[in-house]
Amino acid sequence: MENLDKYFDPKGPFAALRVSQMKRSWKQSNRRELNWWENTYLPMLISGIYLTSKHFFYNVTFHILHLFGIAKGTKGAVTYQYPEMPRPLSSRLRTRHRLTKREDGSPRCVACMMCETVCPARCIEITAAEHPDPNIEKYPSEFILDLGKCVYCGFCVEVCPEDAIRMDTGNLKIAEYSRDSMIYDKKRLMEE
């Protein structure tokens, strides 16, 4: 820290700033000097091998015990074998959308266009039509949601006054072979 002079001109512009910056970075990188034994690389080598071997023998023991059907409760690996053994999803995880239904099976949506307005990706497209029931006013004759554009922000769910759209299907497998088939219409959104 003494010979800062050799790094920059102490009389130049912003010298005080540079000094304070360098002092800070010096403090951050001020590690202890390694002693001779540590410099041989052996202690870290041994402790590293010890750690990985500990994991290895612990896991191998349980894998072998599982082969004989013992100690199934203790896992030898943290792996979830995904397609056969899906990971538990958090209940607040945002997954594929669905349109909730009224008791008669028609969509709860009143085509207020709130979700279409708030959507930052502009992936919702609603066509409103007049509902026969005078208490409801409108219903979506078409409700198109393009999952290829959707960013899963969940704004549509938050903004909906009727609780008509939710993102709680738990369905993550939305992959398709074409962009067109990622465009969901009302019918696909209403089936679970």
Partner 1 sequence: MNDLLIKFILSAGTLFIMFNIAGLLTWVERKQSAVMQDRIGANRASIFGMKAMGMFHALADVLKMLSKEEFIPEGANKFLFNIAPYLSVTFALVGFAAIPIGGELVLNGHSIQLQAANLNIALIFIFAMMSMGVYGVVLAGFSSNNNYAFLGGMRGAAQMIAYEITMGAAIMGVIMVFNTIDMQALDRAQGAYMLGGWLPKWGIFVQPLSFLLFFTAATAETKRTPFDLPEGESEIIGYFVEYSGMKFGMFFLADLVETVLVAALMATLFFGGWQVPYLHADGFYFPWGGHMAMANLPVVILGVLSFFFKVALFIWFLMAVRWTLPRFRYDQLMNLGWKILLPISLINIAVTAVVITLLGR
Task: Report whether 94 contacts 154 (CB < 8 A).
Answer: yes
Cβ 178 to partner 1 shortest distance, Å: 27
Q: Is 49 in the site for partner 1 (CB under 8 A)?
A: yes
Please report, as residue ranges, which positions from 97 to 156 form the binding site for partner 1 (by CB under 8 A). Answer: none
Among 4, 18, 22, 59, binds partner 1 (CB under 8 A): 59
Cα separation, 23 vs 29, whole angstroms: 10
How far apart are the C-alpha atoms of 174 and 9, rounded to whole Å? 61
Q: What is the DSSP letter of 107?
A: B
Query: Looking at beta carbons only, is 8 or 58 nearer to partner 1?
Result: 58
Pick the closer one to partner 1 by CB: 61 or 127. Answer: 61
Please say which residue, 60 or 113, places its beta carbon nearer to partner 1: 60
How many angstroms separate the CA atoms of 163 and 108, rounded?
Answer: 8
Structure tokens at 26: 């010096």
Query: Applying CB under 8 A, which residues contact partner 1?
Result: 45, 48-49, 51-53, 55-56, 59-60, 63, 76-79, 81
